[in-house]
Each structure stands twice: as C-alpha cells, then as structure tokens.
Amino acid sequence: MISPHGSPTLKPLLIEDAAERRALAAEAQRLPGIVTSSAAAANAVMLGSGYFTPMTGYMNVAEALRVAESMHTSGGLLWPVPIVNFVRADQVDATIRGAKRIALRDPNIAGNPVYAVMDVQAIEPVSADQRRVLVENTFRTTDPKHPGVEAFTAAGDVALSGPIRVLNFSYFPDEFPDTFRTAGQIREDIRSRGWNAVVAFQTRNPMHRAHEELCKMARDAVKADGVLIHMLLGRLKPGDIPAAVRDASIRKMVELYFPPNSVIVAGYGFDMLYAGPREAVLHAIFRQNCGCTHLIVGRDHAGVGNYYGPFDAQAIFDTIPRDALQIRIFRADHTAWSKKVNKVVMMRDYPDHTPDDYINLSGTRVRELLAAGQPLPPEFARPEVANILMAHYQAEARQAAR
C-alpha cells in the first residue's frame, strides 16, 4: 500500500490506550483551559485521526509563515496550509501565559469539553502584516467576504503553538457514526478488500450524475480497484447542504448505481477552507495518508465564488516536485450529460459541442426546483438522490415560511 506522507507509518495523535487517555483527561480538568476556534478544533481532529501525518501539533508563527510562503515546513516537507491555533488576546490570561500545558476546549459541543492537551511552546502575537501574509498566500485573496478568510481572521490574533495529544474526535463520531473514519481505519478497509489502486473523490456537496460518472471514468482510467468517496463533515458556509443530507444521498447513489465492493463511503472531520489550489494539495496529502493512490481534481476544486481560475487547483501540482507526493492526480474537466451522445461526458473531449448540447443546471435553479417539489432531469440527478434533496429543501422552505 502507498506510504503515508513524509513518514513510513501513520502517526495519529489520538491517545489510544484507554488508561492513558483517562489519566490525561483527568489531568486536563486541572489545567488552565481555553475554548478554541472551530478551525483549531478541526485541525486537532485531523491530527488525532492521522490525516495530518506527520505533523505533531500547532505551528508557531515563523513556521506558519514559512508554510504559507513556500508550501514547505522548516524541515523541507511539502505542506500547503498552516496548521494553527489562533485565539483572541482577551482569552489569554495569566494562567494561560504561565502554563506549560493547557487544555483545549471544544467550541462545537455544549459545555466545551476538552478535546486535546497542548504542551505550550510559544504564545505569540500575530501582527497585521503577518496575518496578511498568511491569508494572502493561503487563500490568494484578503477579501473579508471570502468564507475561509473570514473564518481565519475571526479566530484571533494570538498564536498558541506546540505539540498536542488528542482525547477525542469532537462531535463527529456521535453525529456520523457510520461515516466518520480515521485515516487508519480507511487504510485498514482498503487492505481488507485487497485493493491496490484506489481513487479518491473529495466532496462537500451531494453527488449528481456527473459526479457519479466522473468517479467511474477516473476509476477506469487509472485502473483502480475501487473508489473512496470521501466527504467533508465539518463546518461549511451558509447555504451549503448539511452533511447528514449529503451522506444519505451519496449512500443511496452508491447502493443503487455502483457495483458491490467497489466504493468506500467515508467522511472526515474538518471545516472547509475554500482555499482552492492550496486546499487541493492538502486534499492530496491526507488522501495519501488514507492509502489512496489517486485523487480526482476537477474544475474549481475546493473553490468558492470567482476567487480562483477553473483549473488553478490542477495547475498548482505542476509546481510541486514529482517526488514530493506519492499520490497522483486525475485531472478532470467539467462533466455533464450530452444530448448528442446520450451520456455523461467530459466537455474537453467533445469540442464540437455547444452549451445547448448539455443538460446543466445552476445551483440556484436546482434549489428552486427541489424546493418547489419539481423533479430534476434524470440526466442530471438520479431520482432517488433527488428525492432526498427535495425533502431537505422543502423542509427548509416550510421553515422559512413560518
């Protein structure tokens, strides 16, 4: 099986031994604690579950700047986005500043339980210029309307850094018991199925016919044994489909329209960055940590609005030395149903087509149809998937009408 990124073995930071975990949890109750941002908690989930192998914790300001500017750590490892724990200055009292170890508390669960313990290596202010460098390099914009920029900026202007030991995976195992999986669990699933080549599909949205066929095209093109449909389960921008609805619709599609034992459906506990090209590289790294040999990178991968060009997330891989990653990229074009050839195609393969030759709906039009209880064209969406989405949008419409 493909090796993890930068390490011969996976390095999850979750305390596996039950007795050791209980002892650390008891110690955490006596430590100074701080409620972190959702982004910092999500970073800990990814560290704890092995997806961010070989990282050991939160970066200090110098390391974060180095990663933002060069996409490499001080040790020379390819890494595309800073892993940081930024908090507000008013959260850092004397007990935090004087502590060698602190408890990190979860902002996403009532009562703010401890999710990790951090050995404090540095507590540093982040200047406006430093934050600008971090934001501009990571997101290619400083526009506060960009959802990733907004979340990054809102977290605070003090960086807490140091190695962490993770106690739990926040709300993800409870809310998504059938879907949340660690990198190690996915590697074991791949191993148990006897798969060698595995293509990963990243999604934060429901999957329509075009996505389904794209997975099949990529599987066939790279001669993969199977597909990992890997969905983000964390926080999204307003208006995105909730994870539970996406999960149900994707599972129904796989159940009905993929051969048995050809797909793993799983999810990971991370908040969407909407960082376009940089996030695409991060997606490749943690899919390699899952054991996948290929990642589908399509048009506007991990993008939002008009901040990135349609193929910027593919072009960034041309700037990376080939030996920096073992995982390979399957470069996809936009896919849609062709009325000329009566199947889903990649548009680049049919230069004779015009826009009128495709069945393609905007996201706004899809939402309007579903909220009104009108079916989507079967060439666009599988009816069983559309029905799940329709129930969601009609519930939203009824709620808005109250």
For 188-227, give the DSSP string.
HHHHHHT-S-EEEEEESS---HHHHHHHHHHHHHTT-SEE
Residue 372, pLDDT above cutoff 90: no
Residue 400, pLDDT above cutoff 80: no
Dist CA 219 CA 199 (whole Å): 6
Residue 125, pLDDT above cutoff 80: yes
Superfamily of segment(s) 178-401: HUPs (3.40.50.620)
What pTM does this model have?
Answer: 0.95
**Of residues 318, 300, 317, 296, the one with CA closest to residue 309:** 300
> 224, 359 in Cβ contact below 8 A?
no
pLDDT per residue over 10-37, tens digit each? 999 999 999 999 999 999 999 999 999 9
72-100 average pLDDT score: 97
Element (H, E) at 26: helix 18-28
User: Tell me, what's the pLDDT at 395?
Assistant: 86
User: Tell me, what's the pLDDT at 73?
Assistant: 98
Dist CA 307 CA 398 (whole Å): 33
Residue 261, pLDDT above cutoff 90: yes
User: Tell me, what's the pLDDT at 8?
Assistant: 96
Helix axes 277-290, 128-139, angle to 10 degrees: 70
CATH of domain 18-173: 3.10.400.10
Dist CA 159 CA 130 (whole Å): 11
Show me where the domains of the chain are located.
Answer: 18-173, 178-401
> 73, 63 in Cβ contact below 8 A?
yes
Residues classed as catalytic: 204-205
Per-residue pLDDT band for 242 (boundaries 50, 70, 90) equals confident
* Secondary structure class of 343 (helix, strand, coil): strand
- How many Å separate Cα 319 from the centre of its chain? 22
